[in-house]
């Protein structure tokens, strides 16, 4: 599998109603197949099913809607024919955030369906800043820390991720911004994994530092393969607005990022084309 060209993305191939329907069928089948494991709570007067609410959240990400409240209002106003009984936004928001582990499992299940598996994965990190500059003084998130990243000095977290050569996220973890790669990489490795020089000595196959006596063989072809994860991160940032919006808790941050990773894998897995 290779990355889908922009013109072939589901958002450009289907009408909005068809996209809602395709995503709903996929989500509903997946939830039914895993209902014994998830055991989602059902209230006596619950309106709208979890499949409907999860569909709204995923389609909003596929359409690059940066503001959850605005997107939900648009769905309530313009698509009552598809979703006749929707709850208040506050309840929708809680359900989407409480589904944090489900978004991760959905993303991983989509990655597991890849047609081609070359036995090689790629690992890298992406900063998740909560605040910059003097805003650190007002940031109230005890799990976050100050650390250096590709975006400069930030207050927040790092997203450590492993992707397939097809660009789908398979495993990932959230760590404070100051944490070194060696602290988390062991729990993410599963097979032949490529990385950059930051992963020297961690079990990741990566180019050597220039001052090292023993140099690792690193042809240009491996550099091209390693850039696959840069393309995946770019999709999260540019197409799915990874850095847009504010969160107040570490739990909300994880839920938000997991949802975007699930949407990314849904978009690039080819199941909606």
Q: Provide the residue-wise pLDDT of the chain in tens; the chain has 273 residues.
A: 344 455 556 666 678 899 999 999 999 999 999 888 888 887 777 788 999 999 999 999 999 898 999 999 999 999 999 999 999 999 999 999 999 999 999 999 999 887 666 778 999 999 998 876 656 555 677 888 888 777 677 788 999 999 998 899 999 999 998 887 777 887 888 778 888 888 888 888 888 887 777 878 878 888 888 888 898 999 899 888 888 777 888 899 999 999 999 999 998 888 887
SS (H, E, C) 123-148: EEEEEEEEECHHHHHHCCCCCCEEEE
124 within some domain: yes
Radius of gyration from C-alpha coordinates of the chain: 20
Structural domain includes residue 269:
no
In the block, tokens 């648009």 appear at 74
**What would the two tokens of residue 72 be?**
């939900």
204 is a domain residue: yes
Instruction: Specify if 97 maps to a domain.
Output: no
Question: How far is residue 96's CA from residue 245's CA, in Å, rounded to a whole number?
Answer: 15
Rounded Cα distance between 180 and 197, Å, is: 12
Whole domain around residue 216: which residue ranges? Answer: 120-245
* DSSP single-letter state for residue 198: G
Cα dihedral 60, 126, 165, 119 sign: negative
Q: What is the pLDDT of residues 251-260, one digit of tens each?
A: 999 999 999 9
Distance CA 130, CA 146 (A): 10
Cβ-proximal residues to 105 (8 Å cutoff; 6+ apart), any chain: 34
- Number of domains into which the chain is organized: 1
Range 232-263 burial, b when 16+ CB lie within 10 A, else e: bbebbeebbbbeeeebeebebbbbbbbbbbbb
Residue 271 lies in a domain: no
Strand 120-131 with 152-164, pairing = antiparallel
- Distance separating alpha carbons of residues 121 and 112, to the nearest angstrom: 13
Whether 138 maps to a domain, the answer reads yes
| Domain-embedded: residue 100 | no
Alpha-helical regions (H) of 34-88: 35-38, 50-62, 68-78
β-strand partners of 108? none
Condensed to tens digits (0 to 9), the pLDDT of residues 138-153 reads 567 788 888 877 767 7
* In a domain? residue 21: no
Q: How many angstroms separate the CA atoms of 12 and 23, rounded?
A: 14
Q: Do 184 and 204 touch, CB atoms closer than 8 A?
A: no
Check residue 3 and give its pLDDT: 47
């Amino acid at each position: 599998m290779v990355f889908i060209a922009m013109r072939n993305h589901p958002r450009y191939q289907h009408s909005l109603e068809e996209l809602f329907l395709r995503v709903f069928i996929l989500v509903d089948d997946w939830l039914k197949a895993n209902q014994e494991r998830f055991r989602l709570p059902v209230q006596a007067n619950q309106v709208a099913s979890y499949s409907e609410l999860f569909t709204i959240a995923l389609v909003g990400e596929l359409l690059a809607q940066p503001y959850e409240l605005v997107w939900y209002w648009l769905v309530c106003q313009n698509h009552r024919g598809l979703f006749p009984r929707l709850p208040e936004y506050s309840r929708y928001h809680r359900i989407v955030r409480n589904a944090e582990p489900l978004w991760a499992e959905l993303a991983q299940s989509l990655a597991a369906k890849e047609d081609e598996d070359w036995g090689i994965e790629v690992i890298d990190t992406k900063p998740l800043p909560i605040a910059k500059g003097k805003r650190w003084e007002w940031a109230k998130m005890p799990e976050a820390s100050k650390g250096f990243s590709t975006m400069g000095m930030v207050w927040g977290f790092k997203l450590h991720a492993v992707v397939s050569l097809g660009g789908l996220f398979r495993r990932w973890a959230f760590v404070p911004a100051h944490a070194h790669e060696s602290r988390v990489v062991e729990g993410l490795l599963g097979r032949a994994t490529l990385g950059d020089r930051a992963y020297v000595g961690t079990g990741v196959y990566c180019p050597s530092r220039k001052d090292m006596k023993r140099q690792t063989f690193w042809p240009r072809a491996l550099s091209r393969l390693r850039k696959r994860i840069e393309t995946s991160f770019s999709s999260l940032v540019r197409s799915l607005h990874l850095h847009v919006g504010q969160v107040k808790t570490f739990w909300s941050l994880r839920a938000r990022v997991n949802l975007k990773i699930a949407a990314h894998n849904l978009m690039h897995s080819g199941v909606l084309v």
